């Protein structure tokens, strides 16, 4: 008999007033008993709507059945058939819009907690399973991957399994992309990313850090060096600004820079002297997941007051509901229907306030969301000493500007077909570099598709 409880088995969490002062993981994970109880909520629907909601088609009912039976290694093996980074996906995928959004149990009550179960299984395997990975037999063909984010790592892993000799060229010193420099430690511990990357290295994938393609070598030079195909998974790390007065003041950061200083350069750890503002009051401009992460980091770095300044209302706020809920619990103040017009500075060149306008919502715009319109004369000032801009990012133009025949659209995203093939022969691309800022699992899905296309391409040439 399935467990017919309308609610998910709750996930234990650190208390809000404790966790907003540390960088330890917020959600603590299920115990084996909790996981088995939650797994018993699955109805094992014949048509498996949850699977169609998952961009990499994890065999969801099959792995959940194994969890319910206490066969955790079997559950892991089932997940690993289609997902190379389950400990990461279980933590950061927007399941509410994907697998869980399609779960039949969600029609009347809460869906099965597929993400929490995936996380439990992956963590169990890391602690109890074997971490030995078989090195596949080489087929003698070489592929270069640019960027060690989820798209590049997935593409490299799938190609390595097929026997390709894969080299990943990564601009930063640590592989993982946004998983290491963007998403904070309290949502995704970096040790988990390192372990998943370690498995790829065991499979024979060679990772070359501090290699900015387009500067050290160009894509054309990679072909000259003997690589038969190139996958570009260089993400969308170029931050946007509002172009309002005061953005050049000291104390104004892009969210990417702020988060990189904290996550990759470990500004939050004692013993690291990474320069970062010691803020008292912070305004984070934007309403997406990146804004929530920046605000929650600022709080943990010791800021007394942290505002989210967003020009629309809560209904249009794009961040995941769970992240907004956590941010509110941790004391972040939401200034909704407010838009910055000017950042104010003192004689010392430092931020000492942000001037905003109140907004009201008009008719829907091209995005389908109601357009924010300024309320004339409603200007007010928030006293802050730091402003973090989290209003979006786009792909860096470096690679396309140094590669012959590689086309991009007007947003700077590389043009690629559904199979990941770009406009240049032998060059494939996927993830944020093609779609613009999206999600981890979509980037992984694109890496997977491109690996299959690269395999077919190289076979067609030999
Ligand atoms: P990236 O992760 O950006 O990786 C690209 C890699 O390429 C980077 O390591 C970069 O250094 C490298 N690179 C760039 N240029 C070059 C070059 N010229 N030469 C060599 N290497 C290069 N998604 C979710 O699903 N859930 C979340 O909770 C979530 N939270 C997020 C929070 C933040 C703060 C941010 C910024 C994003 C978040 N996302 C989230 C989005 C998600 O992380 C991205 O969609 C995903 O990482 C894209 O993967 P990617 O491999 O395409 O690119
Ligand atoms: Fe189980 Fe939900 Fe998938 Fe149905 S849709 S099989 S209940 S996880």
| Residue 210: closest CA among 262, 260, 174 | 174
317, pLDDT greater than 80: yes
- Write down the pLDDT at residue 90: 94
| DSSP states along 99-126 | HHHH-GGGTTSPPP-HHHHHHHHHHHHH
Burial class of 86 by CB neighbour count within 10 A (0 to 12, 13 to 18, 19+): buried
| Residue 232: closest CA among 397, 113, 391 | 397
1, pLDDT greater than 90: no
Q: CA 168 to CA 208: how far, in whole Å?
A: 6
CA 68 to ligand 1 centroid distance, Å: 34
435, pLDDT greater than 80: yes
274, pLDDT greater than 80: no
pLDDT in tens, 291-311: 999 999 999 999 999 999 999
Q: Which residue, by CA, sits nearest to atom 1 of ligand 2? A: 42
- The answer to whether 128 touches 32, Cβ cutoff 8 Å, is no
pLDDT in tens, 150-181: 999 999 999 999 999 999 999 999 999 999 99
Average pLDDT, the chain: 94
For residue 174 and ligand 1, the question of a CB distance below 6 A is answered with no
- Write down the pLDDT at residue 264: 87
CA 89 to ligand 2 centroid distance, Å: 18
pLDDT band at 366 (very low <50, low <70, confident <90, very high): confident
For residue 104 and ligand 2, the question of a CB distance below 6 A is answered with yes
- Write down the pLDDT at residue 133: 80
For residue 4 and ligand 2, the question of a CB distance below 6 A is answered with no
CA 397 to chain centre: 21
Residue whose CB lies within 8 A of the most ligand 1 atoms, among 146, 183, 321, 402, for a mutation test = 183
For residue 25 and ligand 1, the question of a CB distance below 6 A is answered with no
- Write down the pLDDT at residue 462: 84
| Residue 293: closest CA among 253, 343, 267, 256 | 256
For residue 429 and ligand 1, the question of a CB distance below 6 A is answered with no
pLDDT in tens, 25-53: 999 999 999 999 999 999 999 999 999 99
- Predicted TM-score (pTM) of the model is 0.92
pLDDT mean over 352-357:
97
273, pLDDT greater than 90: no
For residue 44 and ligand 2, the question of a CB distance below 6 A is answered with yes
CA 110 to ligand 2 centroid distance, Å: 11
CA 443 to ligand 1 centroid distance, Å: 8
- Write down the pLDDT at residue 439: 92
């Amino acid at each position: 008999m399935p467990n017919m409880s309308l609610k998910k088995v709750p996930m234990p969490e650190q208390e809000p007033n404790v966790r907003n002062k540390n960088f330890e993981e917020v959600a603590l994970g299920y115990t084996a008993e909790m996981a088995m109880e939650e797994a018993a909520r699955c109805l094992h629907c014949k048509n498996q709507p949850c699977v169609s909601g998952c961009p990499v088609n994890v065999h969801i009912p099959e792995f959940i059945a194994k969890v319910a039976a206490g066969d955790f290694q079997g559950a892991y093996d089932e997940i690993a058939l289609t997902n190379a980074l389950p400990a990461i996906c279980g933590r950061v995928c927007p399941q509410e819009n994907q697998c869980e959004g399609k779960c039949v149990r969600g029609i009347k009550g809460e869906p099965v907690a597929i993400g929490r179960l995936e996380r439990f299984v992956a963590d169990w395997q890391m602690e109890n399973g074997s971490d030995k990975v078989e090195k596949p037999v080489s087929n003698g063909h070489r592929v270069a991957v640019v960027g060690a984010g989820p798209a590049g790592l997935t593409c490299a892993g799938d190609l390595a399994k097929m026997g390709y000799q894969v080299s990943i060229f990564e601009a930063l010193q640590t592989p993982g992309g946004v998983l290491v420099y963007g998403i904070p430690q309290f949502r995704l511990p970096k040790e988990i990313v390192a372990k998943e990357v370690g498995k790829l290295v065991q499979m024979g994938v060679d990772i070359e850090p501090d290699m900015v393609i387009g500067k050290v070598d160009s894509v054309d030079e990679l072909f000259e060096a003997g690589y038969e195909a190139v996958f570009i998974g260089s993400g969308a790390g170029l931050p946007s600004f509002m172009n309002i007065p005061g953005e050049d003041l000291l104390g104004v950061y892009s969210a990417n820079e702020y988060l990189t200083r904290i996550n990759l350069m470990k500004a939050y750890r004692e013993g690291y002297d990474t320069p970062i503002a010691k803020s008292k009051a912070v305004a984070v401009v934007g309403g997406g997941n990146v804004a929530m992460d920046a605000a929650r980091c600022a709080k943990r770095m010791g800021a007394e007051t942290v505002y989210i300044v967003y020009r629309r209302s809560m209904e249009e706020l794009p961040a995941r509901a769970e992240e907004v809920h956590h941010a509110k619990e941790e004391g972040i103040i939401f200034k909704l229907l407010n838009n910055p017009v000017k950042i104010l500075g003192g004689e010392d060149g430092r931020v000492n306030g942000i001037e905003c306008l109140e907004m009201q919502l008009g008719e829907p715009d091209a995005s389908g969301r109601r357009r924010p319109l300024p309320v004339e004369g409603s200007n007010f000032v928030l006293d802050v000493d730091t402003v973090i801009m989290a209003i979006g990012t786009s792909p860096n133009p470096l690679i396309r500007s140094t590669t012959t025949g590689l086309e991009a659209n007007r947003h700077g995203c590389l043009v690629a077909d559904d199979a990941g093939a770009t406009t240049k022969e032998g060059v494939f691309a996927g993830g944020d570099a093609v779609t613009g800022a999206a999600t981890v699992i979509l980037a992984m899905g694109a890496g997977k598709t491109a690996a299959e296309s690269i395999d077919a391409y190289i076979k067609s040439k030999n």
